[in-house]
Amino acid sequence: MERLRADAAAVEEYAEYRRIVGDDDGGKPFTPEEYEAYKRKVLPIRLQNRLYVSWRSPTGMDCKLVGPETLCFCTHRYKQHKTDYEVIPKERPICVPCRVSHCPCQSYHYVPLNGTQPIRCRCKHFADQHSAAPGFSCKSCSTCSGFHSCFTCGCGQPTYAHETVVETKEERLAQGRPVGQDVPYAAMGGLTGFSSLAEGYMRLDDSGIGTPSAELLESPVTSMDHPFLKAFQGPSSSAHTTSQIAGGSGATAPVPHGRRSEEDDMAYFEKRYQERIIPCSKSLLCEKTCGEEEMTLCSARRCGDAAEKGEGC
């Protein structure tokens, strides 16, 4: 057990080391002395000059908050770009060039995926078939003037209408957008919490769609709402919903708590199902136990019984 605890602690220490150092060690882990020297040099700069990267809609919503593993147009991850600056450049937009050898990417540029596949340009070729150099010209055809995709984001806007934004903490605070806590980890980009992993139209913070209004949260459940809301509504909401469906008539009896109209529907369909299945079962039983003449008599008897009850055969 002690060995397992020691192994778990070692794994946690290595994960912490990798989150802080990233690829700055060149694939060869630092010695403890080098690691401490690295933290003394880099962490103050990282905490002070963090860059927040997002993919922003023309409506102002951050549809995607870029993290360490988020892919660039050049197919390399954000953590493989230059993210630590001793002095933040004064030029805007801030360039975040790729550090991979021979990569022509001059600044991080986010491009969405269609599921797990790259999206297509208007020239019908995929994004990874275009050059990562400025202009993003197509490498598979000569008619493409640059990558231009009409793929629609979850916010309803096309890809070409979005832009990759690199901004400082002060610039983000001035716009009222969340900045999270100061962390020592490399290439955190725009991630400020677990909600940052969601797309903008699902994120209920100031960088996404925003917090729903109190009026919306306190509004009564209607027949047009999601079935989950109708299933978990209280007794007062049920009565209100029933009266709305009936046209607001005061004579409508409230639905008691714990009983749903869906249950009545299920009981009705179950009854109809049993009405259909029972005669079939009787016919199969007669077929097994009676001859052809007895089958005819059984069918006639059932028809007679149904006629007495005023029902069809």
Note whether 83 and 110 are same-domain residues. Answer: yes
Note whether 288 and 253 are same-domain residues. Answer: no
- In a domain, residue 36? The reply is no
Q: What is the reported pLDDT for 280?
A: 54
Note whether 171 and 255 are same-domain residues. Answer: no
Q: What is the pTM of this model?
A: 0.68
- In a domain, residue 133? The reply is yes
Note whether 165 and 282 are same-domain residues. Answer: no
Residue 172 pLDDT exceeds 50 = yes
Q: What is the reported pLDDT for 20?
A: 94
Note whether 140 and 254 are same-domain residues. Answer: no
Note whether 231 and 291 are same-domain residues. Answer: no
Least confident among 162-176, 177-191, 222-236, 279-293: 279-293
Least confident among 38-52, 93-107, 199-213: 199-213
Note whether 252 and 278 are same-domain residues. Answer: no
- Overall number of domains in the chain: 3
Note whether 111 and 145 are same-domain residues. Answer: yes
- In a domain, residue 34? The reply is no
Note whether 196 and 87 are same-domain residues. Answer: yes
Note whether 255 and 273 are same-domain residues. Answer: no
Which 3-state string (H, E, C) describes the chain? CHHHHHHHHHHHHHHHHHHHHCCCCCCCCCCHHHHHHHHHHHHHHHHHCCCEEEEECCCCCEEEECCCCCEECCCCEHHHECCCCCCCCCCCCCCCCECCCCCCCCCCCECCEECCEECECCCCCEHHHECCCCCCCECCCCCCCCCCCCCECCCCCEHHHCEEEEECHHHHHHCCCCCCCCCCCCCCCCCCCHHHHCCHHHCCCCCCCCCCCHHHHCCCCCCCCCHHHHHCCCHHHHHHHHHHHCCCCCCCCCCCCCCCHHHHHHHHHHHHHHHHHHHHHHHHHHHHHCCHHHHHHHHHHHHHHHHHCCCCC
pLDDT, average across residues 221-238: 66
Range of the domain at 112: 49-202
